[in-house]
Amino acid sequence: MDAILQILVTGLTLGSMYALASVGLALTYGTMGMFNMAHGLFMTIGAYVCYSAFIVFGMPLSFAVLIGIAAGGVVGMAMHLLIVKFMLHRADFQTTIMVATAGVAILLQDLILKQYGAYPFKQPAQIEGQLTVASVVVTYQSIAIMTFAAALIGLMAWLLTNTRFGLAIRATAMNQDAAELMGVKTEQTYLQVLLIAGVLAAAAGILISSLASLSPDMGTNPLIRAFVICVVAGLGSVTGAGITAIVLGVMEAAIGYYIGVRFGFPTMLGLVILVLIFKPAGLFGKQGVVRA
C-alpha cells in the first residue's frame, strides 16, 4: 500500500512536469500543424536563464523564475518572427518546419554549451524539507512542482476558454480559413501560440532542472517524453496531452519501481506503439483532424 502511494506521489510529480512540457507542444501542433523540434531547447533556456538571474545577477528566486519563464516566451516569439512566419504558407510546411527547428535546436544547444560549458550544475530553485504522511515521503519540492504546474496549466486552460485571444486560438486550430473570415488575425495568433508554448516549456525546464540538474542537453529527455505523450494523446489534442502526461508519469514511476528505472521509458514506448497499432490517430485524436 505504501509502495503504491509512494509511486503515486513520484508519478504525479513526474506527470505534472511532463504535462507542462507537452501541452505547449500539443498546442503548437494543434493550431499550426507545426512540430517543434526546438521545444526542448525552450526548456533548457528557461532553466539556464533562471539560474543566471539567481546566481549571476543575484535576483530573488521568485523573480529569477519569472525571468526564466519570460525568456522561454521571448525565444518562442523570436522563432516565429525570424523563421516560422516565412514558412507557414509552404505546401510542405509540416516536414520542412521540423527540419528547420531541428537546426535551431542544435544551434541553441551549442550556444548554451559554449556559454555555460558541458558540466552540469545544480538548479538553485530548491525548496528544502519534506512531509511524511503515514510513511509516505513527500518532499516540499514535489508539492511545489505539482502546484506550480497545475497553476500554469490551469491558467492556460482558462485563457484558452475564457478570453478573446483564447477564442481566436481555438478557432484557428479548428479552421484557419474560417477564423480569418471572422476577422481573426491568424499571424498574430501563431505568434501568441509560440509565446505560450515557450512560456510553458521554460517553466517545465525550470522544474525539471530543480529535480535533475542543468546541462545543455537537459531538454532532450523531456522532449522525447513530450513527443510520446503527444503521439499517444493524438497530435494536437491539448487536453489529451495533459491527461496522458499524468497517466504516463504514474506508469513510468510504477515501472521504475517494480522493474527498474532503465526500463521506464522503453516500456512506455512499447505500450505507445501498441496503442497506435489499434488507434492510429492516438487516444484523443480524430482521424480527420490530423492533417495528412
Partner 1 sequence: MASILSIQGLCSGYRNQQVLTDIDLEIEEGSVTALIGPNGHGKSTLLKTLSGLIPTWKGDTQFLGKALGNNAPDRARAGLILVPQGDQLFGGMTVEENLMMGTFARKDRDAVQDSLETVFTLFPRLKERRGQRAESLSGGERRMVGIGRGMMANGKMMMIDEPSLGLAPLIIEQIYEALGHLANQDRSILVVEENPSRVANVASAFHLMDGGRIAWSGNTNDLANSSDLLKTYLGG
Partner 2 sequence: MNGNTALYRHLTALVAVLAVIAILPVFITQRYFLGEIILFMIWASVATQWNVLLGHAGVFSLGQMLFFAIGAYAVGMMGTYFDVSPWLAMPIGAIVAASAALVIGLACLRLETAYVALLTFAIVFMVSTLIRTDAECFITKGGLCTPLFGGGNGFSGFDDLGFRKLLKGQWVVGNYFVVLGVLALSLLASICVIHGRLGLAFRALGDSRIYAAARGMNRTRFHIIAFVITAFFTGLTGAVYAAHFRFAGPSLFEFPTLVFILAMIVIGGLKSTWGPIFGAALMMVLVEFAKEMGDVQNTLIGFVLVVFVLIFPKGLAGATSQLAQRISRQRSRKASDTARAI
Q: Is 34 within 8 Å of 97 (Cβ atoms)?
A: yes
Window 166-185: contact mask with partner 1 (x via CB under 8 A): -xx-xx--xx-xxxxxxxxx
The span from the first CA to the last CA of the chain, in angstroms, equals 46
Least CB distance to partner 2 at residue 99 (A)? 6
Least CB distance to partner 2 at residue 92 (A)? 8
Least CB distance to partner 2 at residue 241 (A)? 13
174 contact choice in partner 1, partner 2, none (CB below 5 to 8 Å, kind-dependent): partner 1
Alpha carbon 285 to its chain's center? 19
187 lies in the site for partner 2, by CB under 8 A: no
Total site size for partner 2, rule CB under 8 A: 45
13 closest CA partner among 210, 216, 177, 215: 210
Amino acid at 71: A
**Nearest residue (CB) to partner 2, 3 versus 113:** 113
| Cell numbers found for residue 30 | 494543434
Nearest-angstrom CA–CA distance, 112 and 72? 14
- Please report, as residue ranges, which positions from 98 to 117 form the binding site for partner 2 (by CB under 8 A): 98-100, 102-111, 113-114
5 lies in the site for partner 1, by CB under 8 A: no
**Nearest residue (CB) to partner 2, 207 versus 272:** 272
184 closest CA partner among 196, 200, 195, 173: 173
245 closest CA partner among 8, 18, 25, 11: 18
85 lies in the site for partner 1, by CB under 8 A: no
137 lies in the site for partner 2, by CB under 8 A: no
**Nearest residue (CB) to partner 1, 186 versus 215:** 186
Total site size for partner 1, rule CB under 8 A: 17
99 contact choice in partner 1, partner 2, none (CB below 5 to 8 Å, kind-dependent): partner 2
Nearest-angstrom CA–CA distance, 130 and 139? 4
Spatial CB neighbours of 213, under 8 Å, sequence gap ≥ 6: 120, 121, 122, 123
Q: Is 235 within 8 Å of 282 (Cβ atoms)?
A: yes
- Please report, as residue ranges, which positions from 225 to 254 form the binding site for partner 2 (by CB under 8 A): 227-228, 230-231, 235
Spatial CB neighbours of 222, under 8 Å, sequence gap ≥ 6: 17, 18, 21, 40, 43, 204, 205, 208
186 lies in the site for partner 1, by CB under 8 A: yes
Among 220, 247, 275, 283, binds partner 2 (CB under 8 A): 220
Burial (CB count within 10 angstroms: exposed 0-12, middle 13-18, buried 19+), residue 168: buried
171 contact choice in partner 1, partner 2, none (CB below 5 to 8 Å, kind-dependent): partner 1
- Cα separation values, 162 from 75, 143, 180, Å: 26, 28, 20
Which residues of the shown chain bind partner 1 in the complex (CB under 8 A)? 164, 167-168, 170-171, 174-175, 177-186
Chain positions contacting partner 2, by CB under 8 A: 29, 35, 83, 86-87, 90, 94-96, 98-100, 102-111, 113-114, 217, 220, 224, 227-228, 230-231, 235, 262, 265-266, 269, 272-273, 276-277, 280-281, 290-292
